[in-house]
Chains A and B, each alone.
Chain A
């Protein structure tokens, strides 16, 4: 019962992340819009790797592909790779201070963006501007917010 409850919580945060992903920002903010789904996934895989694994990452990747109308499987590929890295490193990442974590988050986001860039370039080469990489930076800067808020969500019930 508790397990189901917990998973509902994860699902809600993931849906909120998807919401943020496709929310209609004005044009100049839009290019900064980080990959919220991936950020939330990274948090959950570091916090409870025994509950959220590569399979979940893969499913959410597929859903993101459908949501944003991309070629099937590119987000799934990127997310499952990143979540694999997160699960491998979660013991090391957890005690790090936030600043040091951000360094790793930066690398993870960069890896994901690199894979998406690669797929996009296979499809239609040479159309992306350098601003394509901006969400990696803003995503890194948003990590403390994601971390704090998801941690709050995770510990909501246990404190009772």
Chain B
């Protein structure tokens, strides 16, 4: 009896997402265990913070202040650049996605299963998280929401064997796909020809194709390119930009679903002479 039911469950879930409701209600029972596992580690970190000395804190404060100063001055320029970009894109009659809302989520220190790069964070559907949302940290793309449960959600990292992310080489706009390698510090680029214009040190950014990841976020840096004369494809590997195994805070991103409208007053001026009655 139990056998039949479990096999039926296996088949149904493999085929359709109909069991998500059951899973999320059961997860309410199990999620406390996840938080329980996380609790001692959080406590340890808090203790470490509270006994760190005054001078260390002061030093850190100073460093952070300097960093903030620099980033703020960079942002000043960014604002102007963003406006300029929109204007230029309007001239090109190109739509541009802009304005992303982020939610800071904290990693729970648990390991679900070995051999898979799936992490759990403490924000779930109660905060509006939904599957396939991109997840970033301060350095680059981390992964995407794989499954959202009420009190936690599972995030598949870009290095997971089953994960692929559409990327583009920042230097020349070459489009390709970065596939996870199963190692936490490596991505593979298996779909480029031997004569592709790519070299170690190239920055890979999200291309925005595929519609899940917003364009323009750094993904990784190419670190190895060896052409294989006997095979059709070379071996190209990249190192992820994001600190996949070190960060505790992650950003879950809502990218605006509809592209930003072309700014009306701008398009009017060049097109005004054209429209003759």
A residues with a Cβ closer than 8 A to B are 15, 18-19, 22-25, 30-31, 33, 54-55, 57-58, 61-63, 66-74, 76-77, 80-81, 119, 122-124, 127-129, 132
Contacts and interface: CB of A to CB of B under 8 A. Distances in A.
A72 B19 contact: yes
Contacts, number: 97
Contacts of A66: 23, 26-27, 29-30
Contact of B115 (A19, A72, A128): A128
A141 B217 CA distance: 47
B81 interface: no
Contacts of A80: 2-3, 6
A31 B111 CA distance: 11
B6 A63 contact: no
Contacts of B111: 22-25, 30
A67 B6 contact: no
B243 interface: no
Main secondary structure of the interface of B (DSSP, over half): helix
Given A71-B14, A76-B6, A63 B30 contact: yes
A70 B33 CA distance: 16
Closest 10 CB pairs of A and B: A73-B9, A77-B6, A80-B2, A73-B6, A72-B13, A76-B6, A73-B10, A22-B110, A58-B2, A24-B109
B161 interface: yes
B196 interface: no
28 contacts: A15-B33, A18-B30, A19-B36, A22-B112, A24-B37, A33-B114, A55-B2, A58-B2, A62-B26, A67-B33, A68-B112, A68-B113, A69-B112, A69-B113, A69-B118, A69-B154, A72-B9, A72-B13, A72-B19, A72-B22, A73-B6, A73-B8, A76-B2, A77-B3, A119-B10, A124-B161, A124-B162, A128-B115
Interface residues of B, number: 37
Given A63-B29, A66-B27, A31 B9 contact: no
Contacts of A54: 2
Main secondary structure of the interface of A (DSSP, over half): helix
A23 B119 CA distance: 12
A127 B161 contact: yes
A6 B216 CA distance: 58
Nearest to B10: A73
Contacts of A31: 114
Interface in B16-46: 19, 22-23, 26-27, 29-30, 33-34, 36-37, 41
A23 B110 contact: yes
Interface in B101-160: 109-115, 118, 146-147, 154
Contacts of B10: 71-74, 77, 119
B3 A24 contact: no
> Among the interface residues A54, A66, A122, which one has the most CB atoms of the partner chain B within 10 A?
A66
Contacts of B146: 69
B7 interface: yes
Contacts of A25: 111
A24 B41 contact: yes
Nearest to A61: B6
Nearest to B13: A72
Interface string B159-194: 001100000000000000000001000000000000
A15 B147 CA distance: 23
A55 B1 CA distance: 9
A128 B115 CA distance: 7
Contacts of B27: 66
A133 to B, nearest CB: 12
A69 B114 CA distance: 12
B51 interface: no
A81 B29 contact: no
Nearest to B120: A69
Given A57-B2, A72-B9, A72-B13, 9 more contacts: A19-B36, A22-B110, A58-B5, A63-B30, A66-B26, A66-B29, A71-B14, A73-B7, A73-B10
